[in-house]
Every structure is written in C-alpha cells, then in structure tokens.
Amino acid sequence: MNNNIPNKPTRAKEHQKTNRQLLPRKSLKAEHEAPQQHHYSPLDVSDLPRAALTSVACNNCRVRKSKCDGRKPTCSACASRRQQCTYRAEVTQEKMLELRKGSRDLFQALERLRTAPEDSVAALLQDLRSRGSVSEFLQSIDSGIVGASSPVNPLATSLAGSSASSPMEMDLNMRYSNAFPPLESLDITDVDLGLLALDKRKSKLLTAPSSSTASISPYSPLDISSRRSATPTTSESFSTPSDTTGESPQQQIDHRLEGLQIWQWTSVPIPDALAEQAISFYLVNEHPLLAFFDADLFLRDLVSAGGRFCSPLLVSSLLAWSCFEPRAQPLSFAFLREAKVRWRDLQNYDSVTTLTSAMFVTLTCNQHGQDRIGLFYLDASAEIGRRLGLFGDKDAAMPDIDGDEELQVAASYAAWGSFGWHR
C-alpha cells in the first residue's frame, strides 16, 4: 500500500467540524485590555436615534397613513417619493370663534323651531328659508318682526349669550344643558309684592330677642309675674302669617273651649285667653298629624274641670308643646318642669291620659334639645301601652274597655298616635 496517501477524515470529525459552536466577535477594546475575559454590555436604548415628533402630518402622509417627520417645506417621505408636500392650514382663533358662533346660531334656531307653537312653526320656517343666514333669522325674531308671540326657550337664549372660553366648555353646555338649567325670566307683574311685607313685631322678635327670655333655663325657677313684658298675654303669639299687611288677623277660638278656667289644671300663671289660643292653634295645625287623643272627649273634660280623659299632667304636657313661639318659650319651660314633677308624683301610670302625656313630653324635650330625657318618656309610653294591651299583648288588657265606648275611642287614639313613634 502506498503510505503517501493522506488519511481521510472520519465521519465523527466531519460532524464535529460542521456543528461547532459560534461565538460573538470580541471587541478590539476587550482584546487589548483583557484577552482572556469576555464582557458583553447591554444595548443602551438612549443611544439610538429617536424619531422626530410632529403634531401635524402632511396631506400625502395622512392619506397614506404613514409616519411624517413634519419637516417643512418638504418632509422626508415626500422628498424620497418626489411628491409635492403640502400641509393643511392651521385653524386661527378668529376662525374658531366664527365656527363657535355658527354652532350656537344653529342650535338656537333649532330650539326656536322645536319649542314654537304649532300655529307659528310654518311662519318661522318660511322666514328662515327667506333669510340669507341663520344669524339674520335670529335677529329678526329678537327684534320682534317674526314670531313675536312665540315663546323663547331659555336654554337656547342662554347658550347664545354665553361666552364659552374653550371648545370643551361649549361642548359641555350643549351636551349637558340640563345639569344647570338657566332660570326663566320673571315678569314683575307676576310677583306678589305683599310677600315682601314683614310684620315689624315679628322682625324685632327674631333679630333682637329679649334678654329676660334668653336667660330662662329649663332647670332654673321661673317667675312669670316678673316677666310680663316678655311673656305674651294675648293671641298675638299664635297668629298666622297669612296677612302680609303688618296686622295679624284674630285667630279663631275653638267654640268647645268657651268657659275654660285654666287655673283649675295648672299652677303656671297663664291667662285663659292665651291658653285658649295655644290649644286652638294646636288643634288646627298639630292635632291632625299627631292625634294623641280624642279632641271632643279631651275638651269636654277640660272645660268641665273633671273626667277621665283629661288630667293635670296632660294639660301641662300639652301646653308645654303648644307654647312654641319665642316669646312664649318661658311658658313652655315652666309647663315642662311642671309636667316632669307631676310625672314623678304619679301613683298609677297605667292610664290613657298618662300615655298621651308621655308623648307630649317626649316631643317637647326634643324641641328644647333634651333628646336623652325625651327617650326616657318615649320608652315609658311604650311600656304603658304594652301593659294596657294596646300594642298586641294578649296577656294584658284594659279593664272594662269592652263595654265602654268612650274608653275604646280614647284608647284607639292613644294607641295609634303613639304607635307611629315606636315603629
């Protein structure tokens, strides 16, 4: 054999040669500094050139929807394509104001046609078609030449006269006009000037309260005789404000109170006329809503100074609630203190009049800012109602209620009147 023939590479050597690992090229700097170490630095994005930002693209780029560098007079894309580069004209401030005014005019004209009466719509439309512009049509309406009897929509008028400082503000006014609707113009002939007249006596009462009245405390002794100037003695404190001429009309007294002698029920010095006014005012304005007692039964026993459906505690609590006006406030505090004393001295609480009295004391305490004390009487009224069998307790019932029609009526008023406050 000829030994000069070179050895052929084996299949394993060829496979190793063709599948050798490819490595990245070394940098020249790394070869000089550290030939045995390989350093690969991450790509720095900040070194890359950034595309120029432009707010307005040329017409050709906008049609082709391609990027435009915004160069003027010719962008790079148009220069490479050898096309004429044109930009749309920028909208000036004057043009923006003109467009805004035109939009307002169109909207106002549309509102005029939409809100006009049926018999005048045709005339308005014909006048609009004969005018040279919408502005002339609106001027003709404002001058009263056409459509003088047609109502003007306050929304359109407000938008036409508004000075929107930005397109966004104008857009919000048109889209959400009901958010803050403009006020309609009010004719002076429609105003009742009598409402502006205020009773001078009531004005002084509200602005300059008496020092003697302000010094009254619900826990201090009250000398009514020394406060005659601050305590009302006539019906003026319970007059209705319907008369605006300055003179309060005389309030009607309930005819069932004729012959009332209030001193038989209370130790608080209050004139009979004032007590009649306070109770009459309550019966007219408060009793239809509260209805804690039957008015006929109560007034009958009140005037006769005796009976089952009136008690000193009920009279004190009722007058404490009825004397609500500022100058009568000392009387309200006095009756409230008297009612609390009489409540404490009671021997038997299980009666219809006591239940009704507890409700009046509750309301009066709340009126004078004594809410926690009022809750005590409110809970007591609920307990009394349960013991009397008025609130669904089958084990408890009022004695002799089945054969007593008047007691049934009084118990029904007390139960339903107080039940609404315990729900």
Which domains, from first to last, does the chain contain? Answer: 54-90 (4.10.240.10), 93-177 (no CATH), 257-419 (no CATH)
**Amino acid present at 326:** P
Q: 249 or 86: whose pLDDT is higher?
A: 86
Please, how many CA atoms are within 13 Å of residue 361, restricted to the half-sphere of its CB? 31
Q: What is the DSSP annotation of 11-58?
A: HHHHHHHHTPPP-PPPPHHHHHH-TT----PPP-GGGSPPPPP-SS--
The full length of the chain comes to 423
For residue 106 the two structure tokens come to 């169109």
Confidence of residue 17 (pLDDT cuts 50, 70, 90): low
For residue 30 the two structure tokens come to 């790394």
Res 277 pLDDT > 50: yes
pLDDT at 101: 84
Q: How far apart are CA 272 and CA 98, in angstroms?
A: 78
pLDDT at 96: 77
Q: What is the pLDDT of residues 77-127, one digit of tens each?
A: 999 999 999 887 765 677 778 888 888 888 888 888 888 778 778 888 888
Judge whether 280 and 288 are in contact, CB under 8 Å: no
Confidence of residue 147 (pLDDT cuts 50, 70, 90): very low
For residue 10 the two structure tokens come to 């084996």
Confidence of residue 128 (pLDDT cuts 50, 70, 90): confident
Residue 96: how many other CB atoms lie within 10 Å: 12
Per-residue burial over 170-192, b = 16 or more CB atoms within 10 Å of its CB, e = otherwise: beebeeebeeeeeeeeeeeeeee
Q: How far apart are CA 80 and CA 58, in angstroms?
A: 14
Res 66 pLDDT > 80: yes
Nearest to 378 by CA among 419, 334, 321: 419
The CA–CA distances, whole Å, from 259 to 16, 254, 262, 276, 284 equal 132, 11, 9, 10, 19
Nearest to 384 by CA among 416, 340, 415, 409: 415
pLDDT at 279: 94
The CA–CA distances, whole Å, from 124 to 193, 238, 365 equal 37, 57, 65
Confidence of residue 19 (pLDDT cuts 50, 70, 90): low
Three-state SS for 331? helix
Q: How far apart are CA 230 and CA 362, in angstroms?
A: 26
Res 163 pLDDT > 60: no
Judge whether 221 and 248 are in contact, CB under 8 Å: no
Q: How far apart are CA 418 and CA 356, in angstroms?
A: 8
Q: What is the pLDDT of residues 191-238, one digit of tens each?
A: 666 655 545 444 443 444 433 333 333 333 444 444 444 455 544 445
Res 239 pLDDT > 50: no
Percent with pLDDT over 70 in the chain: 59
Burial class (CB in 10 A: 0-12, 13-18, 19+), 21: exposed
Is the Cα torsion angle 321, 324, 329, 330 positive or negative in sign? negative
Mean pLDDT of 26-46: 53
pLDDT at 269: 92
Burial class (CB in 10 A: 0-12, 13-18, 19+), 12: exposed
The CA–CA distances, whole Å, from 355 to 119, 170, 293, 388 equal 66, 64, 10, 10
The C-alpha torsion from 331 through 336 and 337 to 340, rounded to 10°, is 160
Per-residue burial over 53-90, b = 16 or more CB atoms within 10 Å of its CB, e = otherwise: eeeebbebbeeeeeebebeeeebebbeeeeeebebeee
pLDDT at 270: 92
Res 29 pLDDT > 80: no
pLDDT at 177: 52
pLDDT at 181: 55
* Prediction pTM value: 0.45
Q: 139 or 22: whose pLDDT is higher?
A: 139
pLDDT at 326: 82
**Amino acid present at 152:** V
Q: How far apart are CA 103 and CA 35, in angstroms?
A: 76
Q: How far apart are CA 312 and CA 305, in angstroms?
A: 10
Q: What is the pLDDT of residues 322-341, one digit of tens each?
A: 998 888 889 999 999 999 99
Locate all alpha helices (DSSP H) within 369-420, ordered by sequence: 371-387, 405-419
ω before 73 within 30° of 0 (cis)? yes
Please, how many CA atoms are within 13 Å of residue 282, restricted to the half-sphere of its CB? 23
Q: 199 or 257: whose pLDDT is higher?
A: 257
Mean pLDDT of 398-423: 83
Mean pLDDT of 13-28: 63
Q: How far apart are CA 260 and CA 136, in angstroms?
A: 77
Q: 234 or 150: whose pLDDT is higher?
A: 234
